[in-house]
Every structure is written in structure tokens, then in C-alpha cells.
């Protein structure tokens, strides 16, 4: 029969060995995980701009071919960094952590934001990364704008843990396909974002219909989260948009 001391020593050694194995596995898998995250990010950006058939196999090639510039701006809308070379996934704009930057904004600290410029059928499309909060966790996505910096080309959304059949519907075509053609400024040039509303777009005043989409049935909190995400992020780009006009 083993003594208590032997059992504790054995258990301690096993804990150390298992921890070492897990740590080594995490270090080994980290580059692959980062690569997969980068590919997912590229797919989302290109899909928002209207590229079809983008998958894990061709995302890097299509991204490097069609992204013509990657810009970093400050809160005043000034370009502080741009990148037009190869290895775009190593650029400052691509590596910028939006969650951290939006937190800095909420704390009234200096922050920076990314813009991806994509060539689509000979025209420049500007993709803005998004991040917000849904019902059960973070939501994110990309919104692509025409060169007028007001008209939506397309969107992509994603989530971590929204309810299937309800809030999770934000990443389905039936929801995302409402956005192309909507505008984030009104006819007087005022920023209005795009609202996700209950009650139907057709029931809104005609002057508001180009700035709203239908909410998800049964997914009110997630819909509100998308509205808040769009407003919070896009208003941060307003100084840049207006400097381009």
C-alpha cells in the first residue's frame, strides 16, 4: 500500500507533466490558430465587399490580389499609417485589435481604427470592421461602403454565442442582404447610421427607410446590439468620411 507522501508526490509530478504537455501543445498550435483566424478575417472582409466563392483555400490569394490599401486612422480622421505592399496580414491595419481600440475610445484614450480598400470591378470599396455586444456575448462583422463613404455595398456579421434561430440569425443571408443600398448619412449630410428596428421598414417614414433594416423576430436584444455596434463604430469614422468629401 502506498504512503500518503508517495501519492502526493506522484500526483504532483503528473500535474507538472500534464501542464507541460498542454503548454507545449498550445505553443505548437498557436501559429496555426492565428493563421486560421487571419483567413477567417480575410473571408469576412472580401464577402462584405461582395466577392463570392471565397473560402479557406483561396482567401489569402484573393485578399492579396484585391486589397489595394490598408489604412489606419486616428480619432480626428487623419491617416497615420497605410500599407500597399505584399504580406498584407502583417500590416498594422490588419493586426489592429478593434476590441482594444474601442475600449480606449470608451475610456477617452487615444485610439486607432482600420480601413480596408478593395478593388471590386474597377471601383474602390471601403470596408470597416465592426465589434459590439449581443445578448450572450460579442458580435462582430464588416460593413463595406462605396467611394461616397455613405452607401452600403454589403455586410457580414458573426457572433460567439447568440441563440440559434433567434439572435444567431444576424449571420444569415436573409438578414445581411437587407443592408446593400442603405445609407449612413441623411440627405443633409448628417450621420444617422443604420438602425435595426421592429415593426418593418415599410412602416417607417419614407425619409427614414434608407437608414433602417428589419429586426430579427424574437431576437430583439441582439438586433439592438447590432444597431448599437453600427452606430458606435461608424461614428468613430465620421471625421475621416467627412474629410474625404
Does residue 116 lie within any of the structural domains? yes
User: Given this model, what pLDDT does residue 84 score?
Assistant: 79
- Which residue ranges of the chain lie beneath pLDDT 70? 1-8, 10-11, 15-35, 245
Expressed as residue numbers, the domain containing 218 is 33-244
**SS3 call for 157:** strand
Does residue 215 lie within any of the structural domains? yes
Contacts of 166 (CB under 8 A, 6+ apart): 216, 217, 218, 219, 222
Distance of CA 104 to the CA centre of its chain: 17
Does residue 71 lie within any of the structural domains? yes
**Cα distances (angstroms) measured from residue 13 to each of 8, 26, 160, 234:** 9, 20, 37, 53
User: Given this model, what pLDDT does residue 30 score?
Assistant: 55
Does residue 49 lie within any of the structural domains? yes
Does residue 54 lie within any of the structural domains? yes
User: Given this model, what pLDDT does residue 184 score?
Assistant: 98
In SS3 terms, 34-94 reads as HHHHHHHHHHHHHHHCCCCCCCCCCHHHHHHHHEEEEEEECCCCCEEEEECCCCHHHCHHH
User: Given this model, what pLDDT does residue 176 score?
Assistant: 97
Split into its structural domains, the chain has a count of 1
Amino acid at each position: 500500500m502506498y504512503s500518503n507522501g508517495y501519492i502526493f508526490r506522484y500526483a504532483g509530478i503528473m500535474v507538472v507533466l500534464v501542464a507541460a504537455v498542454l503548454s507545449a501543445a498550445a505553443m505548437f498550435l498557436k501559429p496555426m490558430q492565428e493563421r486560421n483566424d487571419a483567413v477567417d478575417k480575410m473571408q469576412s472582409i472580401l464577402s462584405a465587399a461582395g466577392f463570392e466563392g471565397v473560402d479557406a483555400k483561396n482567401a489569402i490569394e484573393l485578399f492579396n490580389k484585391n486589397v489595394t490599401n490598408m489604412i489606419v486612422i486616428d480619432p480626428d480622421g487623419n491617416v497615420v499609417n497605410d500599407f500597399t505592399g505584399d504580406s498584407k496580414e502583417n500590416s498594422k491595419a490588419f493586426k489592429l485589435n478593434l476590441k482594444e481600440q474601442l475600449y480606449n475610445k470608451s475610456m477617452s484614450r487615444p485610439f486607432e481604427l482600420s480601413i480596408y480598400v478593395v478593388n471590386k470591378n474597377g471601383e474602390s470599396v471601403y470596408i470597416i470592421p465592426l465589434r459590439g455586444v449581443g445578448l450572450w456575448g460579442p458580435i462582430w462583422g464588416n460593413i463595406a461602403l462605396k467611394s461616397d463613404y455613405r452607401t452600403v455595398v454589403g455586410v457580414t456579421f458573426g457572433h460567439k454565442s447568440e441563440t440559434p434561430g433567434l439572435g444567431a440569425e444576424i449571420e444569415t443571408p436573409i438578414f445581411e442582404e437587407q443592408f446593400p443600398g442603405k445609407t449612413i448619412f441623411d440627405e443633409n449630410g448628417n450621420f444617422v447610421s443604420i438602425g435595426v428596428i421592429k415593426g418593418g421598414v415599410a412602416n417607417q417614414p419614407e425619409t427614414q427607410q434608407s437608414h433602417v433594416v428589419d429586426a430579427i423576430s424574437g431576437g430583439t436584444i441582439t438586433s439592438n446590439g447590432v444597431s448599437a455596434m453600427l452606430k458606435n463604430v461608424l461614428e468613430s469614422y465620421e471625421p475621416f468620411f467627412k474629410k474625404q468629401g
